[in-house]
Chains A and B, each alone.
Chain A
Amino acid sequence: MKNATWLMAAAVLVTVLTGSCRKINEGLDTEKVGNYTIRVKAKSTMSNITNTEGLKVVFENFTEGFRKEDALGSDVTAVDGLIPGLYSINVSGRVEDANGDVFYLNGAKINFPVTKNDILVEIDVAGLKVSPLVFSEIFFAGTTPFYFRNQFYEVYNNSTDTIYLDGLYFANLTPTTATTTLPRWPEEDGNNFAYAERIWKVPGNGTEHPLAPGESFSMAQFAANHQLPQYSPTSPIDCSSSEFEFNMNNPNFPDQPAPDMEHVFYNGNAGKGTLPQYLVSVFGGAYVIFRVPEGEVYDPVNNPALKTRNLASTSTSVFAKVPIRYVLDAVEAGHNENMIAAKRVPSVLDAGMTYVGATYNSLGVARKVSDQKNDDGTPIYLDTNNSTEDFERGVKPQFRRHGARMPAWNHTK
């Protein structure tokens, strides 16, 4: 018995000694931080473009707010002065092909670990699909105290052609809030889909809702004058002139004059479900607008190939697959500048993230204007596929900023 006691004591002592020594030794073995150099090579996936010289490469460590920008050389470009960490590496810029045509190329790697010196990173760059429709303003944060019904999304015609909105889809993606706990999707999906929680569609027969260049339209969670006493007098926005409303048939917040968006998908069904409002996270969600190419059918409710569960979860919630090639514009929003490390939108859709830094602060995000304008003075918005750079953050929400025009069919006209 005495021997057993001594043996037990010795075992405990050895465990304590080795455990404590390990903790200290691991610390003592740690090297001092230094600057790293990473070699970057951009590979064009376009057959008519082989030269990527002059493209801009941006290394961003969002967690630490560190950014380093350089221009690519003809082959491999060494980018030095990088502190270790996880980086978003974006390559973008305009190049000419042999015929002198100009293309905007873009490619990215997200959450790339810079923990070794002098390694080579190869990034595929492709011609960027320039969207005729872009999100021009998004308000998701709500107004203190806890008023969230004034959320809205404004979309602008950034092209030179009139576009018919009928049949244009709007969706918010999952996860609804930026998180490092990302879902796991079926392997066979590859990188071909974004995954939507709820999908809506602009109503119409195909020609009912034209949007001319320089015009914008908005979709409101609740298209009322929020500044009325019964709602939120301090609301920064009156949504009664919104072109569309996400009506959830809530008798306490009744249907407003604005036409309703058509509901398409929620949790595998066409029905809206039991939620009393279409609330997207006040921390900021991820939003897409997309259009189904002519001749194709998109029916995520009835086509099992177009919906899936999150395989990393035991939840039975079902999400719709949105083919990335359908997507016209995507914007990802999160809590603040550091949450970009938790991106849930493929970088091909949005290489960055925008934010307002708090909830219920009555602030939104608005797309920056480019240095060009339409002939009628309406703006041409910046669209580099990176909402960190494309959006002003923390602005007072406003419809039709910078002189954008209201479509003729707005219900208030």
Chain B
Amino acid sequence: MMKKLYITILLAATGSVALAQQKSNSNAPAALELRQQRSLWEQSGNPAGLKLDGPYRYSQIKAGYEAYDGDFRRPQEGASGNRQIAETEGRILLDSFYVTGKFSYRRESIQDANFNASIIDPFRGMPYIIADANPSDWVQQHYNLQFRVSTPFYGRWSWGLAGSYSASSGAKQRDVRSEDNFYSLSVTPGVVYSISPNQHVGLNLRYANTKEEASMKNVNTYVDQTYYELLGLGTAVSNLGSGRTNNYEGDSWGGGIQYQYKGPLNFLANVNYLVEGEGLTVSYTLPRDGGSVIRKSWQAGAAVQKESGKLLHSLGAQYYNRHIDGIQYVTQRDNSQAQQGWLSLAKYIRSTFKTQELGLKYSLTGKRGPEDYSWMADVSALYAKLNDEYILPYSYKQAENLLVTIGGKKNFLLSAARESRLQLGVRAGLNRNLSGGYQYNGQHADYPTVTDLETNDWRYLASDFVRVELPVTYSLRIGEDRQRVLFVNAFGRYTKASSFGFDNRYTFGGSVGLNF
């Protein structure tokens, strides 16, 4: 059964199933972009609603490269770095079942990242990590495999199933070194009930399991390194030596509900809730509870679209709320003959990490027929509020920001013969910090985890900046039957900060790919 499932995903992702190719220009990048914009069920996360977005067939394969540099960054991000990316994606109809699949691989070389010696992604909501004060390179590899299946309607019911498997590995290149392996597996079953031809309601569940192992060591065994067990907001326990083994294991449960009205307007509202529990166990031979978290996330969104022959209006609102409880344990080593191990005597919520985001976006698309557009313009605003607290002794880190973005894109049809197109875009954003502060009242205020890591992290989060992004895509049809679309895209993103002495951060990249 699993073998068949894998084969189906891979076939869908690589598009190697023999299919009668569509004669339209539906696999041009602009057409795919337009379809993506219309796919409100896909954005809701319920796979059972995919067919209500309107199934379409295509396959894509692409390879890309990105690089970044600049001092406007969080301390745990690399000072610079680059990524090589390979992706393949596809959508097919197998009988009446709509199947989508995606596989991606990313290799990342990170230079001079600070304060992370134990975790591949220090921003994933796990505060209990190991940090050292040696800026270090990391080499990481990330794999991701996804599928979604949507059944035909059986009466008023349609069913769906989505799954994803992510695996990452990473290695820190300087003592204290760390070798990390991470995986995440998620399953999302869903159902849609059609109240009427114009109205649908959906329900989906979600289960995910994650695990990350990190083994630390020194290559230069003569020099014992200072490292810190982070407990949140700069609170840390200092150690000397070669580190330890960390084992993170997590589970999450959640679900979402959706409502769609599709008439003169296309309206979809959805609410998702997710609760995650993740624990850190230190060492396998003599395991000790090193901390755990409970993450509770709410996400609510509503989108409405009105489409005519010439224009597509889209208005969307999103609200996101994540609350993390950081739980620390009181552990004691029991060396008695009967025990010989660590006991957890008590546990307490010692810290809370709250993030709230409210976003509004309006976009207007000038269409060129049903599957193409001539231009796009959008304006959006994102309000974000961070409120992290260490309860005893009380410390806080807060930041409140408003980011306003305006963007536009023009789709030039350069030649009708091979439908060669050039899409030129520009996007500009202005971020204003509204309020915030970082105050540490715990012990060892002189630790670099306070003076450097958290202080500079807060400065980044509370900075004003201007961001400009320029995306360019060129595409044309190739082959005798002109069914395949070759595309090349590139982008440059420049962020200029105006707070706390930060200067800038730039990212550029490009990819080449084929839609078929």
Which residues does chain B contribute within 8 Å of A65, judged by CB atoms? 442-444
B251 at the binding interface (Cβ < 8 Å) = yes
Q: What 0/1 readout, one digit per residue, does chain A (148-180) give for beta carbons within 8 Å of chain B?
A: 000000000000000000000000000000001
Assess the A24–B277 pair: CB atoms within 8 A: yes
Assess the B348–A336 pair: CB atoms within 8 A: no
A4 at the binding interface (Cβ < 8 Å) = no
Q: A23-B277, A27-B327, A358-B240 are in contact. Are A33 and B349 (CB under 8 A)?
A: yes
A30 at the binding interface (Cβ < 8 Å) = yes
Assess the B392–A23 pair: CB atoms within 8 A: no
B222 at the binding interface (Cβ < 8 Å) = yes
CA A23 to CA B251, docked complex, whole Å: 7
A231 at the binding interface (Cβ < 8 Å) = no
Assess the B330–A335 pair: CB atoms within 8 A: no
Assess the B223–A335 pair: CB atoms within 8 A: no
Q: What 0/1 readout, one digit per residue, does chain A (244-283) give for beta carbons within 8 Å of chain B?
A: 0000000000000000000000000000000000000001
B449 at the binding interface (Cβ < 8 Å) = no
- Chain A stretch 23-41: residues in CB contact (< 8 A) with chain B: 23-28, 30-35
Contact among A21, A25, A113, A312 with B345 in the assembled complex (CB-CB below 8 Å): A113
CA A34 to CA B235, docked complex, whole Å: 17
CA A336 to CA B240, docked complex, whole Å: 7
Which residues does chain A contribute within 8 Å of B209, judged by CB atoms? 16, 20
CA A309 to CA B247, docked complex, whole Å: 34
- Chain A stretch 305-364: residues in CB contact (< 8 A) with chain B: 311-312, 335-338, 342, 357-360
Contact among B223, B238, B241, B294 with A24 in the assembled complex (CB-CB below 8 Å): B294
CA A33 to CA B325, docked complex, whole Å: 11
Q: What 0/1 readout, one digit per residue, does chain B (303-315) give for beta carbons within 8 Å of chain A?
A: 0000000000000
Nearest A residue to B187, CB-CB: A16
Assess the B275–A24 pair: CB atoms within 8 A: yes
- Chain A stretch 19-65: residues in CB contact (< 8 A) with chain B: 19-21, 23-28, 30-35, 63-65
Which residues does chain B contribute within 8 Å of A85, judged by CB atoms? 330
Which residues does chain A contribute within 8 Å of B368, judged by CB atoms? none
A311 nearest CB across to chain B (Å): 7
CA A357 to CA B277, docked complex, whole Å: 35
Assess the A84–B251 pair: CB atoms within 8 A: no
CA A63 to CA B277, docked complex, whole Å: 25
CA A183 to CA B337, docked complex, whole Å: 10
Assess the B293–A358 pair: CB atoms within 8 A: no
Q: A20-B207, A65-B444, A66-B443 are in contact. Are A26 and B345 (CB under 8 A)?
A: no
- Chain B stretch 236-278: residues in CB contact (< 8 A) with chain A: 237-241, 249-253, 275-278
Chain A interface, number of residues (Cβ within 8 angstroms): 46
Assess the A23–B279 pair: CB atoms within 8 A: yes
Assess the B276–A113 pair: CB atoms within 8 A: no
Q: A23-B277, A184-B337, A312-B337 are in contact. Are A31 and B251 (CB under 8 A)?
A: no
B332 at the binding interface (Cβ < 8 Å) = yes
A111 at the binding interface (Cβ < 8 Å) = yes
Contact among B240, B293, B349, B391 with A359 in the assembled complex (CB-CB below 8 Å): B240
CA A145 to CA B224, docked complex, whole Å: 12
Nearest A residue to B276, CB-CB: A24
A182 at the binding interface (Cβ < 8 Å) = yes
CA A311 to CA B340, docked complex, whole Å: 12
Which residues does chain B contribute within 8 Å of A34, judged by CB atoms? 392
CA A211 to CA B235, docked complex, whole Å: 47
- Chain A stretch 83-121: residues in CB contact (< 8 A) with chain B: 83-86, 111, 113, 115
Assess the B348–A28 pair: CB atoms within 8 A: no
CA A64 to CA B325, docked complex, whole Å: 19
Assess the A83–B253 pair: CB atoms within 8 A: no
A181 at the binding interface (Cβ < 8 Å) = yes
Which residues does chain B contribute within 8 Å of A28, judged by CB atoms? 275, 277, 294
Interface centre among B240, B276, B335, B336 (most CB of A within 10 A): B240
Query: 13 extra interchain contacts, Cβ-Cβ under 8 A, other than A20-B251, A66-B393, A359-B223?
Result: A27-B327, A30-B325, A33-B348, A33-B349, A35-B392, A65-B444, A113-B330, A113-B332, A115-B346, A311-B337, A337-B444, A357-B240, A358-B240
**What residues make up the interface of A, taking CB atoms closer than 8 Å to B?**
16, 19-21, 23-28, 30-35, 63-66, 83-86, 111, 113, 115, 145-146, 180-184, 283, 311-312, 335-338, 342, 357-360
A-B contact pairs, 22 of them (CB 8 A): A23-B278, A26-B277, A27-B293, A27-B294, A31-B349, A32-B348, A32-B349, A34-B392, A64-B442, A84-B346, A113-B346, A115-B346, A145-B222, A146-B222, A184-B337, A283-B224, A312-B337, A335-B241, A336-B239, A336-B240, A338-B239, A359-B240
